[in-house]
Amino acid sequence: MRRIAAGLAVAAVTVGLITTPAASAQPEAQLAARPDCGFTATPDEPAARPVSIPRDPWFTKGKVLVKVKTNQGDIPLVLDRTKAPCTAHSFIHLAHRGFYNQTDCHRLTAYPTLKVLQCGDPSSTGEGGPGYKYEDELPTDLQPAPNDPTGQRRIYPRGTLAMANAGPDTNGSQFFLVQSDSTLRPNYTVFGQILPEGLKTLDKIAAGGIAGDDPQDGRPNVKSELKWVLPLGV
């Protein structure tokens, strides 16, 4: 199961504002040496929806705007190819092929140290993926979590877009949207941000609470369906 582990240390939540990024560089300026992303088929975990395995990306710099239409409102995203070229490329690959369309966000958390919405599994079980995996592009610039006795946890700020995984180098299609500052080990690739309009939609979903017996972790009470996901760029 691809899950984000809830932090144990309680961290103060500070809400940061996200500004719209500058326009992307021209495509010819984005070209660089192709990274080895380690895209590998996972026959023991077949695709939840048929899709091809991507090739390594040509474009490894700049930012890409992605329009995400949900039944609760828009969640525009900005992918950062410079920080995570393989992850951004995989997300764009899946989006262009309709992998994310008409899929539910299957997990909402409301722990003191983990407040995220998890999406990207067409099976809506938390077990589904694209039938391939690829390597981590782990963040190195996250701030240390306060009051963490281990010194290993970091703050994933409000508005962060990151990948869920099942362990090292097992990225697939599932991703999470950080609704409030969350405390985690830096084991999850950060590959973009949620723009302010998207944060309003995310707050709306989070305010609806969690279905089931566990008030801190489960399916959102408010049905949250990705209608379509459209990258506005190559």
Each residue's pLDDT tens digit, 66-100 = 999 999 999 999 999 999 999 999 999 999 999 99
Take residue 93 and report the two structure tokens written for it: 């690959």
Whether residue 24 is contained in a domain is answered as no
Report the CATH number at residue 82.
2.40.100.10
| 42 assigned to some structural domain | no
101 belongs to a structural domain: yes
Any domain includes 134: yes
Write out the two tokens for 13. Answer: 């939540």
pLDDT tens by residue, 2-45: 666 543 332 322 222 333 334 344 555 555 678 999 999 999 99
In a domain, 88, yes or no: yes
Assigned domain for 226 exists: yes
pLDDT of residue 10: 28
Structural domain includes residue 52: no
Provide long-range contacts, Cβ within 8 A and 24+ apart, for 200-203: 200/73, 201/70, 201/72, 201/73, 201/74, 201/75, 202/75, 202/117, 202/177, 203/179
Of residues 233 and 39, more confidence is placed in 39
pTM attached to this predicted model? 0.88
Q: Please give the share of the chain, as a percent, with pLDDT higher than 90.
A: 84
Distance CA 234, CA 231 (A): 8
pLDDT above 50: residue 204 = yes
The overall average pLDDT reported for the chain is 89
Q: How many domains is the chain partitioned into structurally?
A: 1
Q: What is the model's pLDDT at position 233? A: 75
The answer to the question of residue 55 being in a domain is no
Pairing label, strands 182-184, 154-156: antiparallel
Q: Which range of residues forms the domain containing residue 78?
A: 64-144+152-231
Average pLDDT over residues 92-111: 98
- Report residue 59: phi and psi, to 5°: -90, 120
